[in-house]
Chains A and B, each alone.
Chain A
């Protein structure tokens, strides 16, 4: 505290490189997209400002509402699922020593692979003559058309994304667990705290910054799910897995209505922002 100006100046200098990159390559294109959403621009030369026409069109577009619903349902399934799986595996890995590196490497494998590969594998698993239906047949059940039933397709896709993506959150939570001083846990143990009490009293509170990070990132990624759907269902059956980002892709790059696609993009942006702010409030500002 000897120099009151030292903190602000060094702070800004440390942020500066990233700040410049962001202003040019993130903020500027985002403003560009926001501007596009107020025009009827397509790839041709002629365009004009249409005010909020695209936004009124969006509100009256049944496709938008059904894809918003699909996105929300998917998020409600995916986020808790991936949080639970990655937290559980991180805790498991943290509580063993022998072969830990090996298991961590193996569990991280799906994250290294491509979506095309994950989609192919899981189509095999979900097929009528696939792995799951093979097991169900042994129990005299099924077969179940996971990709054909509107009510099953989103949970099925969420499982694929979870399989593909949990390694990411697992590694981050593991790094968070490692940051918790072992001495705290030792001390609690000496005081007679059981495993659950230690988890609730020490591990969970100290892990909150990492959990918050993972929660925000996974929420954003679930709102932006695209590759899994593109590879596995193409938005089907009968638009049951047609999510917002799929709508943006189709409107922009299939139908060349860039102004309208940008409108979808801006609305999706607003929704994710609101959800993230709610999450922040929920977890508590001091941890974020």
Chain B
């Protein structure tokens, strides 16, 4: 129906516009398009890196014509969604595990188990689990990210706290001492645009809580552990342990309270955050720790997976390209250039920076978040209620009960 109408318009338009539309290339090569994102922060280096990947791969596979297009992070959602909806655009794209379940469930992606079948043991088991939906692998892991706490050591020392907090209990203990110096101990980012994976959820996980029940059929964010986690934030706030604007602030380091020395640590920072903080307060003052311990240590960290679109017309060629990018030959240099980590166990990263080495220690605690087809909807609900609690509109139990109810209603509606 849609296509018939479109075809009618196409005829009409071709009269109006003449031959402006571009024709097919007409070559026998199978063309593969990969949408890559600026994983390497220096644009020139990023471009050089992917140009080389393209060239090297084509040299080995003369029958395949590769295009690697660099896309911006901004508007990524809209861009990928329109491409999948209209079945045009990329063959391969980088996605995280938070987006894959829903796309996969709606049948827009192609499983890629066979790409890694040959050397499955070479990948971090965590990374593979994170990219698996209903027993099928939907992303070829090409890199791994990790978050860990970063500290302004000087502020802790000035406040008479000799050892930076490594557990949630120590965090609460330190709060009043820093508050006495007008410093918030935890730079908590409560703005709804900041993923809860980098704010509330790590605390919840550390306390042994989880957003969904193991069978994925109900939302359990209002468990004992959940309420204790939110109560911890509210206690911190009461003790002067959160910035005044915690409910609405983002997690940018530059221009933020952490860089200005008005808050002392951020519990879910990236390696780049640590470098940015170093530039602001002096690298010697930056401490990098292991994930804060509650009943356990959990660090939010996700693999970047190359995802194959179901609409791709050259799936075999795309699989070859994905396998090449995931191979140690590319994965090692990529990890070094990007400051991310390798999703493989058999790769040694040349000349890794000191910051990266510290962050790598947290990789063993990596957890990709609750991968559930409705994870994003539920996150939006929880975020609004956590924010309501932080501005004093709701107490911890009311807020999380309400969030869980909304979430369970959503799951029950099957919507």
Partner-B contacts on A (CB < 8 A):
20, 24, 28, 32, 42-46, 57, 127-128, 143, 145, 147-150, 230, 233-239, 242, 250, 252-258, 260
Question: Which of A43, A46, A128, A252 contacts B103 (CB under 8 A)?
Answer: A43
Report yes or no: A43 in contact with B108, Cβ–Cβ below 8 A: yes
Report yes or no: A234 in contact with B191, Cβ–Cβ below 8 A: yes
* Chain B 263-288 residues near chain A, CB threshold 8 A: none
CA distance A236 to B391 in the complex (A): 11
A133 nearest CB neighbor, chain B only = B244
Question: Which of A32, A143, A148 contacts B248 (CB under 8 A)?
Answer: A148
28 sample A-B contacts, Cβ–Cβ < 8 Å, listed by A number = A20-B16, A24-B9, A32-B2, A43-B85, A44-B106, A45-B106, A128-B244, A128-B245, A145-B391, A148-B247, A234-B192, A234-B193, A236-B247, A237-B391, A238-B387, A238-B388, A238-B391, A238-B393, A239-B384, A253-B77, A254-B77, A254-B380, A255-B376, A256-B81, A256-B102, A256-B103, A256-B106, A258-B85
Report yes or no: A255 in contact with B85, Cβ–Cβ below 8 A: no
B residues within 8 A CB of A260?
A: 415
Q: Given A43-B85, A148-B247, do A238 and B385 touch, yes or no (CB 8 Å)?
A: yes
B347 in contact (CB, < 8 A):
no
Report yes or no: B192 in contact with A236, Cβ–Cβ below 8 A: yes
Report yes or no: A150 in contact with B191, Cβ–Cβ below 8 A: no
B residues within 8 A CB of A28?
A: 5, 9
User: In the complex, which range does the number of interface residues on chain B fall in?
Assistant: 35 or more
B residues within 8 A CB of A46?
A: 106-107
Chain A interface, DSSP helix/strand/loop, else mixed: loop
Report yes or no: B376 in contact with A253, Cβ–Cβ below 8 A: no
Report yes or no: A236 in contact with B244, Cβ–Cβ below 8 A: no
CA distance A140 to B77 in the complex (A): 45
Report yes or no: A145 in contact with B106, Cβ–Cβ below 8 A: no
Question: Which of A44, A149, A230, A242 contacts B193 (CB under 8 A)?
Answer: A230
B residues within 8 A CB of A43?
A: 81, 84-85, 103, 106, 108
CA distance A176 to B2 in the complex (A): 44
Of A147, A150, A235, A237, chain B has the most CB atoms within 10 Å of the CB of A237
B376 nearest CB neighbor, chain A only = A254
Report yes or no: B191 in contact with A253, Cβ–Cβ below 8 A: no
- CB of B243, distance to nearest CB on chain A (Å): 8
Contacts A238-B393, A255-B376 known; list 17 others, CB within 8 Å: A127-B245, A128-B245, A145-B244, A145-B248, A233-B248, A236-B247, A237-B248, A238-B384, A238-B391, A239-B384, A252-B81, A253-B78, A253-B81, A254-B77, A254-B380, A256-B102, A257-B415
Report yes or no: B108 in contact with A148, Cβ–Cβ below 8 A: no
A residues within 8 A CB of B107?
A: 44-46
- CB of A103, distance to nearest CB on chain B (Å): 31
CA distance A252 to B77 in the complex (A): 10
Q: Given A32-B2, A255-B377, do A237 and B247 touch, yes or no (CB 8 Å)?
A: yes
B169 in contact (CB, < 8 A):
no
Residue interface bits B1-28, CB-to-A below 8 A is 1, else 0: 0100100010011001000000000000
CA distance A254 to B5 in the complex (A): 28
Of A24, A46, A236, A252, chain B has the most CB atoms within 10 Å of the CB of A236
CA distance A187 to B299 in the complex (A): 78
A residues within 8 A CB of B377?
A: 254-255
- CB of A275, distance to nearest CB on chain B (Å): 27
- CB of A70, distance to nearest CB on chain B (Å): 13
CA distance A238 to B403 in the complex (A): 11
B residues within 8 A CB of A255?
A: 376-377
Of A57, A149, A238, chain B has the most CB atoms within 10 Å of the CB of A238
A45 nearest CB neighbor, chain B only = B107
A residues within 8 A CB of B245?
A: 127-128, 145, 147-148
